[in-house]
Amino acid sequence: MNVNGEGLDNRKIRAEITAKKLLEIGAIHFNFREPFTLTSGIKSPVYIDCRKLISYPEARGMLMDFCADTILEEIGLEKVDSLVGGETAGIPFAAFLAERLQLPMHYVRKKPKGFGRDAQIEGGSIAGKKVVLIEDLTTDGESKIKFCDALRNAGARIEHTIVIFYYNIFPDTIKKLAKSNLQLHYLACWWDVLKYCKDEGSKWNNGTIDQIENFLTTPRAWSDKNS
């Protein structure tokens, strides 16, 4: 971050705009009467579908610009040989970013495909390359670690992953990623969405905002109560 705080200010601005754009395109859903079930099994009154971005060029372009800026400012273009999309949602976003930054691209499967070359990573040779994993979102970080392990087993050097959205409700996620020598970069999280909803309070039902805040503060307790 710059001494004058410009880096922090840029991240705050990107977070606010990202939250706004995701809400505008209907990628964020609220339903506390019939909660969503997350992959962890936790019940949640909020759900996000970043895949919707691929159908909205204006919002998609803006958020891809933000991701490109994140690479330039927080990682350094000289430290990136290729961008890797995680199956499946990360693949289009890696492609959009690779085109913007004129970088090579690969993608990694959750597991080898089981026929042909039985490949888990597609593209040219990745051995010895410094890569960044691109995904749509992360919750507890587990899938990022599995992708990272596959890439390292293929000889890639990876220390960074970029997601559009980070749940930021599980306290161990960042520590877990750090233990795997992986730094998480993200555009926005649920706390940014909550802040935007509060700032634009006239557009949102207070009961909805309260339910979101209760869940974000104590997700497991909220889940147990509303299961």
pLDDT digits 0-9 by tens, 115-165: 656 689 999 999 999 999 999 999 999 999 999 999 999 999 999 999 999
CB contact burial 28-63 (16+ within 10 A = b; e otherwise): bebebeebeebeeebbbbbebbbebbeebeebbebb
CATH of domain 6-193: 3.40.50.2020
CB 45 within 8 A of CB 212: yes
Residues 6+ apart with CB under 8 A from 91: 85, 107
Task: Name the residue with tokens 């004058």.
Answer: 4
CB 90 within 8 A of CB 112: no
Strand 157-166 versus strand 43-44 pairing type: unpaired
For residue 103, is pLDDT > 60? yes
Give strand ranges (E) for 67-129.
Answer: 82-86, 105-108, 121-122
User: CA-to-CA distance for 97 and 105, rounded, in angstroms?
Assistant: 9
Q: Tell me the two tokens of residue 175.
A: 């520590």
pTM metric for this prediction = 0.92
Mean pLDDT of 46-58: 97
Q: Is the peptide bond before 88 cis (omega within 30 degrees of 0)?
A: yes
pLDDT for position 135: 98
For residue 4, what pLDDT band results from cuts at 50, 70 and 90?
very low
